[in-house]
Amino acid sequence: MKSIHSIVQQHSQSIIELRRYLHSFPELSAQEFNTQKRILQELTDLGLACRPITGTGVIAEIQGGKPGKTIAIRADMDALALVDECGTDYQSQTYGVCHACGHDGHIAMLVGVAKVMVEMREELAGNIRFLFQPSEENFPGGAQAMIEEGALQGVDAIIGAHLWQTVKAGTIGITAGRLMASPDEFTITIKGRGGHCSMPHQTVDALLVGAQLTVALQTIVSRNIDPLEQAVVSLGYFKSGETFNIIPDTAVLRGTVRSFEPTIRNLIFERIEQITKGICEANGATYEIDKILGFPPIINYAEYSKVIGEAGAIVLGQENVLTINPVMAGEDFSHYLEKVPGAFFFVGVGNPEKGIVYPQHHPMYDIDEDALGYGVEIMANAAIMLAKK
């Protein structure tokens, strides 16, 4: 019987070529029609029964020749609304749409795992289910819809991976607990009274109120949250006014809250409300706050993280299996972990020697493509190990 490594080596170039094709033709959330078509073709060519799910997603399963558990592996499919500036032959041909988060690689790796499993079918214990999920980038995400349409029916456990630029190529990052935070959003609309800049005493300056609020909100984490707890409050949008000599009557601030614990999340939003109310009342302004609670945090199951770590050691050596600190980015893979046990891990793709230095969501983002083969091997090994348990 062929080894997993030899099968991956046999298919390594086709995995890279698939990733490059997907990078050239990215599609936004819920618009992954061509991506879906390509995935269906790839799986059909392997002789796998596959079908569309939740609009633009794909689900497939391979049944092994021996009894065992059903293990799901998930890859997300959508790209970002971003101009691609990676400068390669496979740069996006769709202006303003870019695979700058690695989802093209996730798809290619999962197709690679399918190729491995097809060749090992007779020796495979249990079943491996392949979940190609749309709409990860746009809240509320595609995971919940996949679940509602039966993606986890009969599944005993699930694993997934994310290509991660800050982790060095040739290594993986894994943790037995917290991995990714819950990403929440908020919008604060301040209403004042506009007027001429030469007569500020006749106005309630919404821009000034917004500026005070911008500074004050940064005290929440530093002064209200235990320094040993992880939390973020950041503003990414502040819009007020249209010209230099008119005091604006409206200011809009938008930001994000990142946390792991419900009590911390609640405390942060309470303080946002209290601080906004106090500053607005002190200045004679009114306000509205709209919030969107995002995905749950990803909290890995320890025993499944251990198996992924063991699979990583088989492929890369124990010294290249890194226990990493949690990150404050969010991922809707967490919805799957609310239903079945499993774990999520990072496959390192950063490589300064190859110029792979730009982070996720950057227009010049790219990956060290050697990592794709490592990811396929690790997920295949982990899934086979888990199906036997």
Distance of alpha carbon 46 from alpha carbon 350, whole angstroms? 31
DSSP states of 225-258 as a string?
S-TTS-EEEEEEEEEE-SSTTEE-SEEEEEEEEE
Q: For residues 123 and 226, what is the distance between their CA atoms, to the nearest angstrom? A: 51
Residue 116 to residue 11: CA distance in whole angstroms? 9
DSSP string, 367-385: --THHHHHHHHHHHHHHHH
Are 69 and 155 in contact, with CB atoms under 8 Å apart? no
Identify the helix (H) or strand (E) that includes residue 298: strand 298-299
In the residue annotation, 205 being an active-site residue is answered as no
> b/e map of 180-205 (b: 16 or more CB within 10 Å)?
bbbbbebebbbebebbeeeeeeebbb
User: Catalytic one among 32, 42, 78, 137?
Assistant: 78
Q: Which residue has the tokens 């269906």?
A: 40
- Parallel, antiparallel or unpaired: strands 250-259 and 182-191: antiparallel
Hey, is 15 helix, strand or coil? helix
Report the distance separating Cα 372 and Cα 278, nearest Å: 52
Which value, to the nearest 10 degrees, does the dihedral of the CA atoms of residues 96, 109, 373, 341 take? 120
Is there a contact between 339 and 131 (Cβ–Cβ < 8 Å)?
Answer: no
d(CA 284, CA 286): 7
* Residue 334, both tokens: 């967490």
- Report which secondary-structure segment, H or E, holds 292: strand 286-292
Residue tagged active-site, from 136, 205, 332, 368: 136
Angle between helices 33-45 and 103-119 (to 10 degrees): 20
Tokens of 341: 């046990």
Record the tokens describing residue 380, joined without a space.
């295949």
84 is catalytic: no
Which residues are known catalytic residues?
A: 78, 136
